[in-house]
Structure 1
Amino acid sequence: MTGIEAVRENWKKAVFEELCALADRRGDDPAALKEKDLVPGVPPKSEMGDIAFPLFPFAKVFRTSPQALAEELAQGLRNRDDLSGEVRTAGPYVNVVIGVGNIAAELLAATRDLPEAYGSSGHLKGVPVMVEFSCPNTNKPLHLGHLRNDALGESISRILRAAGADVRKVNLINDRGIHICKSMLAYREFGDGSTPESTGKKSDHFVGDYYVKFNQWAKENPRAEEDARSMLVAWEKNDPEVNSLWRLMNRWAIEGIEETYEATGISFDQIYYESQTYSLGKDEILKGLERGVFYKEEDGSIWVDLEEIGLDKKVLLRSDGTSLYLTQDIGTAIQRQKDWHFTRLVYVVGSEQQYHFRVLFHVLTKLGFEWAENLYHLSYGMVNLPEGKMKSREGTVVDADDLIRELTSMAEAEIREKEREDEVESVDETARKVALAALHYYLLQVSPNKDMIFNPKESLSFNGNTGPYLQYMGARISSMRRKFQERRDEFTGIEAKPELLNTPEERELIKLCSDFSSVIAAAADQYNPSLLASYLYELARTFSRYYHETPILTGSEKETAVSRLALASAVLCVLKNGMYLLNIPFVEKM
């Protein structure tokens, strides 16, 4: 524990010690005081202090008012010589204005010497965590819902790594089932030997068009659904013709999806395929039946009673012995534990699957797998455009590639409108990076469990709570650093002095930057990148005010200028590292 975290913890320890000493002096019972009741907060206004200790929980023990207790406690704290900071009272609160000198020195040194490591927390050091996300179907390209899933999965994986965890990112590609056969059947009926190359279409879009075509065709052909089911049966019997078509169309779909992954900075350590895992759970269910964990109905189907978790009953194997999606997930989880001994497994899946994961985790626990207690469903809400809800079958989804292309085009227009073409290194590349910043930040700034509306125009704003705003602040500091290098000879031999950073705005920036590690730890523990997004926006906004109101390289003494530039560089370090954790590209010039 370093920086401001250590200072807060030291003050909390000192306040509780002083409470106990005060109780002893007054003849009260110190054992009646509970340290867990001492919950430090932040005063509503920065001029009131940096840490606030509410004393309501302790007034009863001392048989006095919280206000009187605060005054008496503050006096005792002021008499101690082992604390750095100023003690104030505000009604029932003891507030502390911490001394930021040592914190500033530590911050400037850490962000200068090991900038890429700054903020990394060791509180999950060595914990093996597997994160499953994306899990596309091979009958259509990725859409806006997948983009939110991918943004969450990639970001939380990076955040967990920054918190010290050993992370393994996995994907389960859903490459079998009736929905896959629908695309295949439509292609067989209407494809006439065409290919992505012959049509000039991106390969996953080519396949997805036939899924839409099937659903249009099925409205006119009552046999279409039955024919699709027959094709699935033929696939499971390894029919050569059906399997050849399946392999061809799956390759097209997966190659196209991988292109989108590459364009959006998404990667995986291991990929599983449903066609290889869908039967894995069957043996485990039969073992559970032998041990009396499950029961068999008269028709031969196998069920689990979920009364223990307040639910009804769930079938695990059909009467014909075939598996369900739940059965597959049981087997896949067990196989993954064999492949890589995780302590935690996080499933990034939409909120509509909450029932599924409650049952999955419970069944694995009943089967005796202790690690099942650490499985977690990172449930996220739906995401749509302002126009309304997406429907894959009707072809009204917000396609991921189209959305990225639209955002890139809008970002390029913004660059040209502001006449910044000569300022950026490449208009095309900068526009692409701005588009990804807009997309990922907008998707991550909302708490995962909430539904959201994605507004492309809002997401691209260079002002306000957006990814491009973070990029702009980073580029502004980078520009300042380049100007300093051009004048480097003027500052020969001058080093930054943390003690010169003593304005209220500088104190605030020092405290914010020093909080980076604790924000990462909280985001990792809660699987919530929005905590980091909010923090980075507050840091950028605070620096923007400081930049406008405070001369950094001009109008100040050279030692002050170097010190302020060092603080700006610390802010840049935090922004760059934080943006990486949100999968937001950094740009030097905007």
Structure 2
Amino acid sequence: MLFKVRQLWKALVEEQIGIYAREMLGSDIVLPPLAVQTPPKPELGDIAFPLFAYAKLLRTAPVKLASELKSRIEKIDNRPLGDLLIAGPYLNIRIDMNSLASELSTEIASRKEAYGTNDTMAGQRVTIEFSCPNTNKPLHLGHMRNDSIGESVSAILKANGANVRKVNLINNRGVHICKSMLAYQKFGNGETPESTGIKGDHFVGKFYVKFANWAKEDPTAEAQAQEMLKKWEDGDREVLALWETMNKWTLDGLAESYKKMGISFDAFYYESNTYKFGKDEILKGLADGVFYQEDDGSVWVDLSSINLDKKVLLRKDGTSLYMTQDVGTAIMRHQDWPFDSLIYVVASEQQYHFKVLFYVLDQLGYDWAKNLHHLSYGMVNLPEGKMKSREGTVVDADDLVAQLTELASSEIHEKQREDLVGDVEQTASSIALGALNYYLLQVIPTKDMVFNPAESISFAGNTGPYLQYMGARICSMLRKFETEEKGYEGIGFDSSLLTLSDERELVKQLALYPQIVAKAGADLDPSIVCSFLYELSRLFSKWYHDNPVLKAGDKALVRSRIELSKMVLQVLKNAFELIGIPFLESM
């Protein structure tokens, strides 16, 4: 809505600049597009149009041009409602907030959870791949950033009208899987997740760490793992049986973690089902002269046309690599569900991999390869440094969720709010999930970040629990109002009573939400929604602290401020959905 108002003013000012330019120059002239800015201070208005470029073309002072345009526009009867201000070389607009608030109230009340959504991506089929765990270890903090980004971007794209298919590629084969299997053969002693009481993915991950320690002592360990991989690809029954057993242990454990963290998928792909297809595609490309073969039998692609060297696609023993199976997986996905675009949510350290993958698919003749996108995200580290899976120094996802839940539970008990929240365990779990997702998403995806568990769960500051508390606070106020509502029959929302500068800022922020959703979708960046949410909550908190709502005195003012609070609450709920923050009515 705010975007529409800005565009109306922009079109009017551009039109008047064009008319004035023709009058001054006696002919038409191509003018640069008019920039739309936000003034640095509320008292300078809500929209700013810099006039430097036009003043230079017309050989006049910017202030004089601003004054001329103001005079002309004020004489137009059907112009948008609002006041024109001159701020040096800028022509500024103070929006008619009365009109905007009235329209906003009607739109939010009628659209409810649909407020902010749009159809800019209607008809587009988007596949988004994220998570992609290995079946040799549990999920860790790095996976959690991946999952949070994947879920959030999927929700944001849906809010922009796209038809989204969430997919997960399970990395269930390869030498890393064989390392856990080999260690289990040597050190497992027939134990199982059931016999030890250890969750399946944790149980298998323990043997991946054991392999790393064993390999430091036995120089043949790596070669033995490669030999096991060859046996697996050759269909050795004993190796396949162990592989199936240990894969099931891990996948059962991962399913529990996904459920707890609110992660879901529309389809699963397994490398064990796609790598052969990928090998066939590479061999087909070799036969067609797209790729070439070295003397040792390995197959390569020449990357000189994209300013890279070369890349092996099949090893000399015929076994495949990640690249091979990713080729097969992409093709299978398009056959299963023809997409308009495919987004890979993968860490930034894999940028080279995806540049080559997209090039290989293009060379194989798939025209949809130009619509593949690598949503690259930075590494997530701890305050004490980088994590390493094989050394067992990662932050386990299940342990982190449990830790955050315990911290939230302790906060509830400390504040003696057990009766208010009802189910303490469920509420604590929701607070933990909100803390986790918000902390992981508030940083621009491309940037590295440090995750601080204690900081993330804080109920004050720029955190998920702070946002959840703001929603619960509004709910509490509305429950109190409901007990008094009988005395407000016939009193409606009067936007003209919202005259405070804080109220103007709140209305502008609420009106901005649809534009935020659109930008977050265009940029594939959930941090845009996070920043918006924190600013909305900060504005509301300040306004609520400084101004009475239920005790405003005049009933018409109480009703109007209640309606403003309801608008804020609805937008909070809508935005929470986009970044995986559970909404809580009580905290």
TM-score by length of 1: 0.97
In structure 1, the residue matched to 2:121 is 124
CA distance in 1, matches of 2:571, 2:199: 38
- Distance change in 2, residues 1:301/1:181 (3 Å): closer
Deviates more, 1:195-204 or 1:495-504: 495-504
Query: Which amino acid in structure 2 is aligned with residue 301 of structure 1?
Result: S
- Return 85-94 or 74-83, whichever deviates more: 74-83
CA distance in 1, matches of 2:218, 2:270: 31
Q: Say whether residues 1:210 and 2:207 are aligned partners.
A: yes
Residue 496 of structure 1, aligned match among 493, 512, 515:
493
Contact 1:156/1:528, CA 8 A, preserved across alignment? yes
| Corresponding residue number in structure 2 for 1:231 | 228
The CA distance in 1 between the partners of 2:91 and 2:363, in whole Å, is 50
Q: Over aligned residue pairs, what C-alpha RMSD do you find?
A: 1.4
Deviation at 1:490, TM superposition (A): 1.4
Aligned to 2:71: 75
Residues 262-341 of structure 1 correspond to what in structure 2 (within 5 A)?
262-341=259-338
Code of the residue aligned with 1:79 in structure 2: it is: K
* 2:168 match: 171
Distance in 2 (CA, whole Å) between partners of 1:182 and 1:291 is 36
Report if the CA contact (8 A) 2:129-2:168 is conserved.
yes
Partner of 2:367: 370
Determine if contact 1:67/1:92 at 8 Å carries over to the other structure: yes
Partners of 1:332 and 1:515 in 2: CA distance: 40
Q: Secondary structure at the match of 1:346?
A: strand
Deviation digits for residues 146-190 of structure 1, max 9, x if unmatched? 000000000000000011110000000000011111111111222
Residue number among 57, 66, 79 corresponding to 2:53 in the alignment: 57
- Worse overlay, 253-262 or 104-113: 104-113
In the TM superposition, 1:99-498 aligns within 5 A as 99-498=96-495
2:38 aligned residue (33, 39, 42): 42
Identity, in percent, stands at 58
Aligned residue in 1 for 2:9? 11
Q: Structure 1 residues 28, 283: CA separation in 2 closer, same or farther (over 3 Å shift)?
A: farther
Per the TM alignment, residue 338 of structure 1 is displaced from its structure 2 partner at its CA by: 1.0
- Measured after TM superposition, the shift of residue 317 of structure 1 is 2.7
Q: Deviations over 1:410-457 (max 9, x none)?
A: 111112222222221222111111111111100000000111100111
Kindly state the Cα deviation for residue 28 of structure 1 after the two structures are TM-superposed.
Answer: 4.9
Q: Distance in 2 between matches of 1:310 and 1:78?
A: 58
Of stretches 60-69 and 506-515 in structure 1, the one that deviates more from structure 2 is 60-69
In terms of mean alpha carbon deviation, does 119-128 or 170-179 score higher? 119-128
For each residue in 1:274-319, what CA deviation from the matched residue of structure 2 results, as whole angstroms up to 9, or x when unmatched?
1111122223233333443333334443322222222112222334
Conserved 8 A contact 2:82-2:94? yes
TM-score with structure 2 length normalisation?
0.97
Contact 1:32 1:61 in 2 (8 A): no
Q: Is the 2:230–2:319 Cα contact (8 Å) retained in structure 1?
A: no
Aligned equivalent of 2:21, options 14, 23, 31: 23
Cα deviation 1:162-221 (Å, max 9, x = unaligned): 111100000000000111111111112221221111111111111111111111122222
Q: CA deviation at 1:325?
A: 1.2
Q: CA deviation at 1:464?
A: 1.0
Q: Distance in 2 between matches of 1:580 and 1:162?
A: 10
Moved over 6 A (4+): none
The code of the aligned residue for 1:325 comes to: Y
SS at match of 2:346: strand
> Matched residues in 2 for 1:395 and 1:29: separation?
74
Change in CA separation of 1:561 and 1:360 when aligned onto 2, cut-off 3 Å: same
How far 1:263 sits from its partner (Å)?
0.5
Q: CA deviation at 1:118?
A: 1.0
In 1, distance between residues paired with 2:527 and 2:222?
Answer: 42
Measure, in 2, the Cα distance between the counterparts of 1:231 and 1:301.
Answer: 20
Q: Distance in 1 between matches of 2:335 and 2:407?
A: 47
Structure 2 gap ranges (5+) = none
Output one character per residue of 1:324-348: Cα deviation in whole Å (capped at 9) or x when no partner: 2112111211111111111111100
Deviates more, 1:302-311 or 1:557-566: 302-311
Contact preservation (8 Å) 2:22, 2:29: no
**Deviation at 1:29?**
4.2
